[in-house]
Structure 1
Amino acid sequence: MMTTETKTTDDDHVKIFDTTLRDGEQAPGFSMSTDAKLIVARALQELNVDIIEAGFAAASPGDSASVSAVASEIEGPTICSLSRLNVADIEASARALEPAKKKRIHTFIGTSPTHRDAKLKMSKIQILDKISDVVKFAVSVCDDVEFSPEDAIRTERDYLIEAIEAAIDAGAKTINIPDTVGYTTTEEILDLFSFLKENAKGAEDVTFSTHCHDDLGMAVANSLAAVRGGARQIECAINGIGERAGNCSMEEAVMALATRRDFYKLETQVKTTKIYQASVALARVTHNPIPRNKAIVGKNAFAHEAGIHQHGILADRRTYEIMDAESVGMPSNSIVLGKHSGKHAVASRVEALGFKVSKQKVEDIFPAFKSLADTCREVTDADLVKLVTGNGKTDGRAGPWRMRKTELHVDFEDDTRPHARITMEHDNGDRRTVTHEGEGPIDAAFAAVCTIADVPGRIHVLDLHHVAAEGVVRAEAVIDVEGKHFSGKSEEVDIADAAVAAFVAAVNQAVAIRVSSVPINNEAVI
């Protein structure tokens, strides 16, 4: 079993410099308020990353305030602010970072021919002089200074050496070599880091860092290659967010080093069991869901539908999994039932739901299972309950409750709390109406549904997708009921109706399984 936190020496410790709140946040669609940044920063603190690049203080008053807020609250990681290579930017970073117990200023200037000629209009000598002067100033206001020669990969090697040596002479403690445009290859970046480590004067006194972009889909591979070349800091972001195609994915780089320690012989200090929690926190505050097939944290990362794979996983999960889901803080591996699933998986899931079933019962329901699986992407627990008990409703419900009326109320002009009035009808004809308050109208509606159905549920995940071409909203709700998860799906024209309907479907599943498992949790019945 892989450990999630170990002590490392300087030689085998790879620092994790997380730039989710800076490079990640400046990507289109990922802008965060100060409150949102603090939520992510707390998750990074829990992860135990080495450095949090909290923002670009000189970019705006809001960014400066965010850096200051993170610096004031977060302890443990070093808090960093990005600065262009000028005195005003560095002073802005120093002011914003003042509350931090451990602080770093990260400053940069372009060094490639393209940046020198097209953007900066500066000569090589002018840039070298500026590096010497401004890095020295940065060191005078902050002991920990990192320097980046922007677009280093496309910079001439002899000049890159000169720029690096100027920064080291001025007092920089970390030298970052950014692949600003995601252009390099694994062989090339490994060779470059080896070259710089061997040839730059003072290289032995600084930490070399790698910052790779994913324009060619190689950011993680290139970052790991840089580590093999001598880098001992990886600049990365949760879920790989960042400019254009994104940055090196923090969770992928960390788990590659952890899972293949036999190859890299290096470690981070990241508490890997907190990875999924951080990934979900970022997805929620940015309203950008984690792609289902995302490595390490995606819904499919530890899920299996193919019958051969499911049979192997049930026998020994090592047959098709190189990591434990629990090691990154995810629920244990998921057997997803679909058209590729076999009888072993169906039997296993039915028993996990609390039913004692014979082999003959599985044989009896399997044709109906296959028929159902051919018509939908995934067979839910509720579907299995209906197959096993024969209690399915003609309208597809798993449980006894139907929505009859939904009224949501929110008034921004007075102090009235948001509330919802929900009417539901039971199969036995009982009709109930409940009005409930909440943090928002949908939250209030969820609470009212739980009161009516007498289910102590709370929302765990709510995914909403507007399908413009069809004019509908598809919703999936996962609820937690006394430690167990139940899911429901819906498709409605209105977003609120879709959210509530999916929640009701999940509640129905919980009710159906709770009611059905009592009389039939007996081998003689099924």
Structure 2
Amino acid sequence: MRKIIVLDTTLRDGEQVPGAKLNLYEKLEIANQLKNLNVDIIEAGFPASSAGDFKAVEEIAKKVGDKVMITALARAVKSDIDAVYHSVKHAEQPLIHIVLGTSDVHVQKKFRKTREQILEQGVEAVKYAKSLCPNVQYSTEDASRSDFEYLWQTIEAVVKAGATMINIPDTVGYAVPEEFGELIRKINERLKNLNPDVILSVHCHNDTGLATANTLAAIKNGADKVECTINGIGERAGNAALEEVVMGLFLRKDYYQATTGIKTTELKKTSRLVSSLMGLDVQVNKAIVGDNAFAHSSGIHQDGLLKSRDAYEVIHPEDVGVDDMEIILTARSGRHAVKNALAQVGFTNYTDEEFEQIFAKFLELADAKKEVYNHDLFHIVQSTIRRDNAEGPELKDLYELADMQVVINNNFPSASVKIKKGDEILTASNVGDGAVDALYTAIREATGVELNLLEYKLNSISRGKEALGRVSIKVSRNGKNYSSKAIDTDILKASALAFVNAVNMAVVDEMVSKREQAVV
């Protein structure tokens, strides 16, 4: 089975997204995580563009380039090639990446030169790069819109000049899978006859949503290497998403007869890091790494999953670093899902009539608040069938936001909260770096639950009238992560409710664990 080389260009093509500029330390953090992910090559930047980018590439080569090949982009000019070489030379395996267009649009309109002039420029650039570094990649920009015979003439010439990798970009997302696959097949056939040691690579953009499909079609037709970005970020509509290409091969290695060396359990962690540092949210329904990628809210799907997970799950969440699939309790959930949720939190001793009362109350609450959490089930059960000897945790153990006040100013943003726990009222006030930080610090102090905030998001829904707060927390005493959501017309209240919901999830989990241990 072929092993496909994975080049990650998040720090070069990905950083070209407007507003996604990273500083040196953020680039190093991402590069280290890409190393943990076990990518084969990191394209660390465009060093000729600025002194800052040169320094970042240089530091990545020094600190991450012990086991990962490091490259950076150069135009086919001597000064760019020098900048790449002097920044990547500190890596154990440096690679110079040269790009020059081959389509008539680029040759005639962008460069305003002849085909012969561009070909000669590319050859001279490769020869010069080869005199500095043994590994040289040549990218035929806009290859998918190029005349094939001129494209091949260019490839043949730069290979003879010393190029060790040939990259075929679909620069503007023009290609379709069948056509792109055939292009790669023809090039691969000729390239292997010319020099079987040269690596054939592809770099696909997502302008029409086909970047992953085109990349996989290229692999099927002989491509040895793929260039991708985390979360599919990049110019315009982005690049082929690394996680999609990798898991496409993972799931259908029987079809592609190819695999990668990527440590797939690091995918979700890498996605979150890139999203956080670049300030680019991942769409919730994004394949593999979206928040809803392994979440199920349809009653039909939930019933099928609870009977057999392979009914609706072809990739296991733990394979990509997600703890487990998530069954979201909504008004669309069926009786099977609700019974399963009740059992998970310790409620199993009820009659059929009592369950119908619970289910009716559940639907009423689901219509009102859209999503129902485990701690909400306690309220439902206690208000319907609670008996002196009923099993299950007590409501007195759960927290409820009773009141809150936030003062926003430039110097000392502060928050005061009143939290209800059973008949007890807990209060706390604190300051923070901002309104949300002050609010969460006060809630943490009032509840006394030691936890760290891992992720916080706020989105507008319902045409801007309501805010959706999302949080992920890690609880110190059990080391587990919990994620929760809440909706309110007040953005700060939505944030606070989401945080309290996450705390209650941790409390419920610990109570259930204690009961299970007691039974054992």
TM-score by length of 1: 0.87
What letter matches 1:432 in structure 2?
Answer: T
Range 309-318 or range 60-69, more displaced: 60-69
User: What corresponds to 1:117 in structure 2?
Assistant: 108
Gaps of 5+ in 1: 1-10, 412-417
Q: Residues 43 and 278 of structure 1 are in contact (CA less than 8 Å); yes or no, is this contact kept in structure 2? A: yes
- For 2:181 and 2:465, the matched residues in 1 are separated by 50
- For 1:503 and 1:253, the matched residues in 2 are separated by 34
Deviation at 1:321, TM superposition (A): 0.8
After superposition, where does 1:75-114 map in structure 2 within 5 Å? 75-114=66-105
Q: Residues 235 and 248 of structure 1 are in contact (CA less than 8 Å); yes or no, is this contact kept in structure 2? A: yes
What letter matches 2:63 in structure 1?
Answer: E
User: Is 1:450 the equivalent of 2:444?
Assistant: yes
Q: Residues 473 and 492 of structure 1 are in contact (CA less than 8 Å); yes or no, is this contact kept in structure 2? A: yes
User: Is 1:288 the equivalent of 2:273?
Assistant: no
Residues 449, 372 of structure 1: CA spacing in aligned structure 2 closer, same or farther, 3 A cutoff? closer
Residues 406, 325 of structure 1: CA spacing in aligned structure 2 closer, same or farther, 3 A cutoff? same
User: Is 1:16 the equivalent of 2:13?
Assistant: no
User: What corresponds to 2:138 in structure 1?
Assistant: 147
User: What corresponds to 2:294 in structure 1?
Assistant: 302
Q: Residues 356 and 522 of structure 1 are in contact (CA less than 8 Å); yes or no, is this contact kept in structure 2? A: no
Deviation at 1:383, TM superposition (A): 2.2
What letter matches 1:254 in structure 2?
Answer: V
Deviation at 1:153, TM superposition (A): 1.1
The match for 2:127 among 128, 131, 136 is 136
After superposition, where does 1:188-203 map in structure 2 within 5 Å? 188-200=179-191, 202-203=194-195
After superposition, where does 1:198-237 map in structure 2 within 5 Å? 198-200=189-191, 202-237=194-229
After superposition, where does 1:327-338 map in structure 2 within 5 Å? 327-338=319-330
- CA offsets 1:387-425 (integer angstroms, 9 cap, x no match): 122299xxxx973442343457875xxxxxx88553425
Over the matched positions of the two proteins, sequence identity in percent amounts to 37
Q: Residues 399 and 500 of structure 2 are in contact (CA less than 8 Å); yes or no, is this contact kept in structure 1? A: no
User: What corresponds to 1:62 in structure 2?
Assistant: 52
User: Is 1:424 the equivalent of 2:418?
Assistant: yes
- For 1:373 and 1:521, the matched residues in 2 are separated by 32
- For 1:409 and 1:65, the matched residues in 2 are separated by 37
User: Is 1:246 the equivalent of 2:242?
Assistant: no
Gaps of 5+ in 2: 387-396
Q: Residues 137 and 166 of structure 2 are in contact (CA less than 8 Å); yes or no, is this contact kept in structure 1? A: yes
- For 1:42 and 1:403, the matched residues in 2 are separated by 43
Residues 101, 440 of structure 1: CA spacing in aligned structure 2 closer, same or farther, 3 A cutoff? farther
Q: Residues 230 and 241 of structure 2 are in contact (CA less than 8 Å); yes or no, is this contact kept in structure 1? A: yes
Q: Residues 181 and 213 of structure 1 are in contact (CA less than 8 Å); yes or no, is this contact kept in structure 2? A: yes
User: What corresponds to 2:377 in structure 1?
Assistant: 384
Range 504-513 or range 302-311, more displaced: 504-513
- For 1:217 and 1:247, the matched residues in 2 are separated by 9
User: What corresponds to 2:470 in structure 1?
Assistant: 476
Aligned residues: 501
What letter matches 1:491 in structure 2?
Answer: D
User: What corresponds to 2:428 in structure 1?
Assistant: 433
Range 302-311 or range 43-52, more displaced: 302-311
Deviation at 1:477, TM superposition (A): 2.2
RMSD: 2.9
Deviation at 1:467, TM superposition (A): 6.1
SS at match of 1:20: coil
User: What corresponds to 1:172 in structure 2?
Assistant: 163
- For 2:100 and 2:8, the matched residues in 1 are separated by 20
After superposition, where does 1:366-405 map in structure 2 within 5 Å? 366-390=359-383, 399-405=399-405
TM-score by length of 2: 0.88
Residues 505, 261 of structure 1: CA spacing in aligned structure 2 closer, same or farther, 3 A cutoff? closer
SS at match of 1:42: helix
Residues 46, 107 of structure 1: CA spacing in aligned structure 2 closer, same or farther, 3 A cutoff? same
- CA offsets 1:201-237 (integer angstroms, 9 cap, x no match): 6241200001111111111111111111110101111
User: What corresponds to 2:42 in structure 1?
Assistant: 52
- For 1:467 and 1:314, the matched residues in 2 are separated by 30
- For 2:406 and 2:75, the matched residues in 1 are separated by 53
SS at match of 2:2: coil
